[in-house]
Amino acid sequence: MNGEEKHDIIRVGSRKSELALIQTKHVIQCLKEVHPKKEFEIVTMNTKGDKILDKSLPKIGEKSLFTEELELALENGNVDFVVHSLKDLPTTLPAGMALGAILKREDPRDAVVMSKKFKDETLSSLPKGSVIGTSSLRRSAQLSRNMPHLKIENIRGNLNTRLKKLDDENSSYAAIILAAAGLKRMGWEDRITQILEPEEALYAVGQGALGVECRESDWKIRSLLEPLLDVETTLRCVSERSFLKTLGGGCSAPVAVSSSLEKNELTITGAVWSLDGQTLITDTSKSKLYLPDDDYEPPKKCPYQEPRLYCSVIANKISSISLYGAELLGEDLAKKLIKKDALDVMSRARKEILDTK
């Protein structure tokens, strides 16, 4: 029989939101281009983060708000792999789970969506006291520091819900801040009023990238996913995730990054803020990486020896030297911030959140 044999249907876990389904279908389409005879079925579910909408994310106080139910289905064998927005995925996965692929990154920056009343404005030109909606401590801290004339208020819900709240004729929001990647994937790029460059607002770890989680022991699925891995995105995200993991951060403190990979040099900038944005600790680290050409074939490994994970990432297409270098770079940056008392700033931020519950 020519080509690939037809096998059982592959079950793919996804959140129920429109954006999550678009992202999941994108991954499936990429897989079909490589494995045209494979069949896929999407299994949707709501996560705790989707259900609890009356509290800000930090006040809920859990790291796996948008992943726990999906990972449980994966662990129980109800799905074969799960598609995540990488920024929602904790830096340490449950035992036995791994990221089988990180796809090419969409725009990682933040985007401003203005209400119709202020469609010709930018954040800096908005009237004093204008209300900006965001559910992110990272965004609110940076806005408070850089745009003190604005008022920040929490806004929850999926993209559709937040845009509906903004567009309501009785809305108090002058603008909301969202990930540019989500708006672009939804086909709503025309709603973007302003893109915030990293100099204006660093972004979340992994923002704009899609991660595909699978069981570490499932060699069939791991082999299926491997062609989707993007080298540049993976190295940048390993470094970003290593930075956050070393700091011990998450949505419970304002932490952000930006990264780039140019001419084999990986650069990552990271920062930690107090909740009000007035305290800022930041630094940058750089490192040269060994990046083989497109014809590179990794050395064959002993079939009985499990390859090492790098911040839960499996990336056989990339040399272990490069992956380890990216991981060390993130650690190095975090240690620079720790020496500047970043952990104390983060601890105070968490305490303030708990005290306001």
Contact present, 214 and 81 (Cβ < 8 Å): yes
DSSP character at residue 105: P
CA distances from 147 to 174, 197, 294 (A): 14, 14, 45
Contacts 24+ apart (CB under 8 A), 45-48: 45/13, 45/14, 45/15, 45/16, 45/69, 45/70, 45/73, 46/15, 46/16, 47/15
Residue 53: name the closest of 162, 202, 144, 138 by CA.
162
DSSP character at residue 313: B
- CB contact set of 101 (below 8 Å; sequence gap of 6+): 211, 212, 225, 226, 228, 229
In the annotation, is 80 catalytic?
no
Q: Out of 8, 50, 54, 88, which one is annotated catalytic? A: 88
Q: How many helices (H) and strands (E) does the chain have?
A: 11, 13
How far is residue 10's CA from residue 42's CA, in Å, rounded to a whole number? 9
Contact present, 130 and 151 (Cβ < 8 Å): yes
How far is residue 104's CA from residue 88's CA, in Å, rounded to a whole number? 17
Catalytically annotated residues: 88
